[in-house]
Structure 1
Amino acid sequence: MNSPRSILFIAFLVVSFFLYQNWVVESAPGTTAPTNSESTQQQAADSAGSNDVPSGSVAASSDVPEAEGASKTSSATTIHVETDVLDVQIDTRGGDIVSAKLLQFAKELNSDKRFQLLQNESNAVYVAQSGLIGADGIDNKNGRAVYSYEKTDYSSTSEKVEVPLTYTTESGVVYRKIFTFTPGQYDVDVRFEIENNSADTLSTQFYGQLKRSMGTGESGSMIMPTYFGAAYSHDDDKFEKYDFDDMLDSRLDVTSQTGWVSMLEHYFVSAWIPTQQQTNRLFSRVANGSQAIIGVVYPATQVNPNSTETIESKLYLGPKDQDSMAQLVEHLDLTVDYGFLWWLAQPIFKLLQFLQSIVINWGLAIILTTVIVKALLFPLTKAQYVSMAKMRMLQPKMTELRERYNSDRQKLSQEMMKLYKTEKVNPLGGCLPMLLQLPIFLALYWVLLESVELRHSEFIFWIQDLSTKDPYYILPILMGASMFLMQRLQPTPATDPMQQKLFQYMPVVFTVFFLWFPSGLVLYWLVSNLITIAQMLIIYRGLEKKGMMVRGNKKK
């Protein structure tokens, strides 16, 4: 396989891959409205359990209904908490986190506005809810508990912040819901303390759920398809996507001792992380036909008279930081979804991360990664061009065989194989390096697409965000020019006029195709081309000295 044909083959595979990705996006969560029958069936199920919260799962339609009583006031308010990384609002009705801004991440490049992960707007709901259900739960058909509070504003960038909320029943049972925020961390400890001052044994269950409007969020584009929906992990599966269409079709209902539930978008994630020492129930449902809910329910906790029990959980609200998520719970780092090439993408990311820690620039880290990859592939690249040169030298003999056995395909094939064996030529020797570069290209594509570390990371001059396209299209044009130069260096152009035309337009096609690629990926491809050009010049010079280079069918 000669180099232009290899490039064409890779182009076909890459285009096919992205067309497939686009098809996945078109049929992905939130992109297709539920049918009338689906919506009707789901809403009917919602209505059936709208004022009832079963002990085994949560079935509230639009949260658990409003509560009438409270220990301090029946009117709910919001509590503001700010650390160096999080700015959240907690609703005292239910103690839900109804707003969360990530202070280390701008909404857009060079914007003063911070990225908002959670919000509670009429047209866009995305909240983290938790409470106590069961026989003696305070979140039930009678409504959500409205907690009393000590103050409405907390702020610290150096010390832990504890936000205590309290609800006291008429029988004297005290329910405390305590949020603990740690500076520099995106995980929030959520702890319930149940002080039973009554004469009866209490039974209650913790639940935590994430609720999000299905019509909000983006699934990316053909070039940059990104997942928007839910995901979970349990005993039998490390990481499972569970999109909104899946929720409409059937409810999630599994038990597991390990795992978590989450809502995902491009670079950010929210996740309830239950304790891993008990058998919990993971569930999902759709409320009002438009709001997706995924959550976890603990087994019942028994609280004896005159005793106190504590129930703990964690809530993660932040970026898809693989290192920090891996420390919180097993497999949460898999929400950084590198696709089926994760086994290749993860080492590439680790290499990028290591190099960036040295050069302090993600663009330079990409260049160094490219140099390392091309150096590792150089033996195969050399073998490729040597094989191509030998194949060219055999062209006269191959032409003679085709003319001799034109009417006998089987005999022609046998004689061809005999010729390859005699001359010690592998007809597929030119393909291997190209095929090896394709998974590397795709793996790096996913790394640059999914890794939040590259979001808003600048390179030099006009490249201020390696995760988005080049605003002036300079890198794609340079990449196209490098492809054109590579073609000019090919010792044997295609002889077929149609192929010649096709190869001539390949740099143009690739240039147009790469206009919308992340600039970090285009940078990789450009540097790879430049290194390939240098390698071609070195290899061809050596082959010329050995008399193996031919142009047309003549030795040079």
Structure 2
Amino acid sequence: MDERDPEIERNFIIFMVVVMICLFGWMYFSARNAQKKPLPQQKSVVQETSPAKQEPAPEITEPETIPSQKPEESQPLQLAQNPEIEEKTITVTSPLYKIVFSNKGGVPISWELLKYKDRVYFPYEISLKWPPFKRVEKFTPQPVQLIRPELKDKPPLRSRIVVNGMEIQPDTLWDVEAKDISVENGPAEVEFRLTLSQGVVLKKIYTFYPDQYRSELKIEYSGLEPDPKQSWTELELSYWFEPKSRLARLNFHGALNYTGKSLVRFNTNDLNKKFLSAEKAKTNPQELVSYEKKSLTVESVDWTGFTDSYFLTAILARSDTPLKVWAYFDGTMEMVEDKNASKEYAMKIKAQPGAQDISSHCLTQLELYFGPKEKQGLEKVRKSLAAAIDYGKYLGVIAIPMMYALIYTNKLVHNFGWSIVILTIILRMAMFPITRRGQKSMKELQKLQPEMEKIRKKYPDDRLKQQEELTALYRKYKINPMGGCLPILIQIPIFFAFYRVLLVSIELRHAPWILWIQDLSSRDPLLILPLLMGLSQFFMQKLTPTTTMDPTQAKMMMLMPLVLTFMLVYFPSGLLLYWTVSNIIGIAQQIYVNKVSE
């Protein structure tokens, strides 16, 4: 008798059942797959066993299409090497700009605005540093560069392209027709081509217009059916800046993202503070390399870009494919040495278009704006772009009408300096009724000076009692002691609004006035206007009654013109022109009121 272990026998039976199920299952699914793909198997049978047998036409033509695609789809895309392609540049010129492209990545490596210069030359300069007077070395102003050639190895505008999982490297050489292009009589295109394996061709097409700072970027494909989950593009925009720049701290410099409702900002001042605090602590600035904690992610973005006081570089989405944007400081803090050997750091934006219908042979279609922040020009491209001109949430109520008034006046006199003079006269004359009321109030207070002195002597140690008696005196004669402050209070927001106009209005950048004032948006090179402003302020205060002040306060107020002169030495000359003219008119008005009051 066979004495086998029943446990082993049961396990053996289970094992055989599982094996049989797997075997029959494999045969079943193999048969099903064979039924789904009968044509390729028929072809192999026909070719191997009965080559002379005649088959119907559909059974011969279909197998040639399906197998020919299947092996190709299973193979990853590769770059088709072309040793004849060499690195080269193409120049695009219009009346507004000059752009140099490199076929290395198919990106712009230089972008100049021909109608705007980087600075203004004046042969002499006076400053508060020693020696105070110096002769400025002769130089020729150059066009403003939104993309500087020295950054060609780190191009500020580049694209990341992924097709069916294959990423095109940024240093890839694209094929392009080596000829310069002039954009004068109509739109012109620069087309970069890249050939991949399996006959796939990518195209990167830039379109330019003769009378606009707007351009278009389109990335197309042919020869494949891209997988939407593995095919996408991303644009990277960089902004290089010097953290210690005074102007960068005075005005917003950094990334802007417009979401259709509001602006989302990412300011370079975040890095300025970090840099300056490290400098005060005697920290090596290179230790700031690790500063990469703060970043910003914004979705459903209509346009994104970088701005400084006067210029904007922006990527604009199509209405049906809003952008997803990441703004951040480059974690490596790559440093660039310019001709002055000043250290610069990069803030970067990555903009990824939303999902779009790629069946139209277009991976990405975007617009670019590289140009001045001129309101009408921005609105012509896209109305929301004008939001990049930041006059301030509250100051804008005064600054925007003031800017329009200056532009209108400039059309009449063709000089923004004289426009400032005319506008200042109009403002002072419009405020004269209020000014006169305040000046009359001060004169009336002057008449009460003897009685006010009696009250002060009567209660020398009781300030509260003094104030009660003085208030009763004001009520008796119906005098408002604060009436003289009203004209000054009104002028304060006007002053700051005008300063904002000079700081962000491209129309006033490098606008000349007379003789030595060749740029109303920058400081007076000879410091004449600060001195005139200080003198006019001194005479203004001498004519203004100071009856409510004690002698110590009066002496301190007399020092104010000197303090203001030193404080405003480096402020825009247009602002000092406004203040000086305003003081001169104020002096004339005060003399008139004093004579009438007598």
Question: Same-fold call, TM > 0.5?
Answer: yes
Q: Secondary structure at the match of 1:437?
A: helix
Residues 1:178 and 2:205 are matched in the alignment = yes
Residues 1:114 and 2:143 are matched in the alignment = yes
Deviations, residues 292-312 of structure 1 (Å, cap 9, x unaligned): 3113101233434xx533632
Q: Identify the range of structure 1 (247-256 vs 513-522) with the bigger mean alpha-carbon deviation.
A: 247-256
Amino acid at match of 1:289: M
Normalised by the size of structure 1, how large is the TM-score? 0.76
Q: Which residue pairs with 1:233 in the alignment?
A: 258
Q: 1:261 aligns with which of 286, 304, 307?
A: 304
Contact 1:189 1:315 (C-alpha < 8 Å) held by counterparts = yes
Q: Secondary structure at the match of 1:293?
A: strand
Deviation at 1:121, TM superposition (A): 2.3
CA RMSD between the two structures: 3.0
Taking CA–CA contacts closer than 8 Å with sequence separation of 6 or more, which of the two structures ends up with the larger relative contact order?
1
Alpha-carbon distance between aligned partners in 1 of 2:593 and 2:264, rounded to the nearest angstrom: 45
Q: 2:592 aligns with which of 532, 538, 555?
A: 538
Unaligned runs of 5+ in 1: 1-66, 545-556
Deviation at 1:524, TM superposition (A): 0.6
Deviation at 1:454, TM superposition (A): 1.7
Q: Which residue pairs with 1:49 in the alignment?
A: none
Q: Which residue pairs with 1:399 in the alignment?
A: 453
Q: Secondary structure at the match of 1:430?
A: helix
Question: Against the structure 1 CA distance between its residues 151 and 332, is the aligned structure 2 distance closer, same or farther, given a 3 Å change threshold?
Answer: same
Deviations, residues 55-80 of structure 1 (Å, cap 9, x unaligned): xxxxxxxxxxxx96467855433221
Alpha-carbon distance between aligned partners in 2 of 1:380 and 1:249, rounded to the nearest angstrom: 53
Amino acid at match of 1:303: I
Contact 2:306 2:313 (C-alpha < 8 Å) held by counterparts = yes
Q: Secondary structure at the match of 1:198?
A: coil
Unaligned runs of 5+ in 2: 1-77, 122-139, 272-290, 335-345
Residues 1:333 and 2:386 are matched in the alignment = yes
Alpha-carbon distance between aligned partners in 2 of 1:151 and 1:331, rounded to the nearest angstrom: 37
Alpha-carbon distance between aligned partners in 2 of 1:123 and 1:77, rounded to the nearest angstrom: 12
Alpha-carbon distance between aligned partners in 1 of 2:398 and 2:424, rounded to the nearest angstrom: 14
Task: Using the aligned pairs only, state the percent identity.
Answer: 32
Amino acid at match of 1:418: A
Question: Against the structure 1 CA distance between its residues 217 and 85, is the aligned structure 2 distance closer, same or farther, given a 3 Å change threshold?
Answer: farther
Residues 1:298 and 2:356 are matched in the alignment = no
Deviation at 1:98, TM superposition (A): 1.7
Higher Rg? 2
Contact 1:70 1:146 (C-alpha < 8 Å) held by counterparts = no
Matches within 5 A, 1:112-511: 112-121=141-150, 125=154, 127-133=156-162, 135-136=164-165, 138-139=167-168, 145-195=172-222, 197-198=223-224, 201-202=227-228, 204-214=231-241, 216=242, 219-220=245-246, 225-235=250-260, 237-243=262-268, 245=270, 248-256=292-300, 258-285=301-328, 286-290=330-334, 291-304=346-359, 307-309=360-362, 311-340=364-393, 341-404=395-458, 412-491=466-545, 496-511=550-565
Aligned residues: 470
Question: Against the structure 1 CA distance between its residues 248 and 346, is the aligned structure 2 distance closer, same or farther, given a 3 Å change threshold?
Answer: farther
Contact 1:126 1:213 (C-alpha < 8 Å) held by counterparts = no
Alpha-carbon distance between aligned partners in 2 of 1:105 and 1:426, rounded to the nearest angstrom: 52
Deviation at 1:114, TM superposition (A): 1.8
Deviation at 1:333, TM superposition (A): 2.6
Contact 1:106 1:114 (C-alpha < 8 Å) held by counterparts = yes
Greater fraction of residues in helix: 2
Q: Secondary structure at the match of 2:507?
A: helix
Question: Against the structure 1 CA distance between its residues 260 and 295, is the aligned structure 2 distance closer, same or farther, given a 3 Å change threshold?
Answer: farther
Amino acid at match of 1:358: L
Normalised by the size of structure 2, how large is the TM-score? 0.71
Alpha-carbon distance between aligned partners in 2 of 1:250 and 1:346, rounded to the nearest angstrom: 33
Contact 2:79 2:196 (C-alpha < 8 Å) held by counterparts = no
Q: Secondary structure at the match of 1:355?
A: helix
Deviation at 1:467, TM superposition (A): 1.5
Contact 2:416 2:511 (C-alpha < 8 Å) held by counterparts = yes
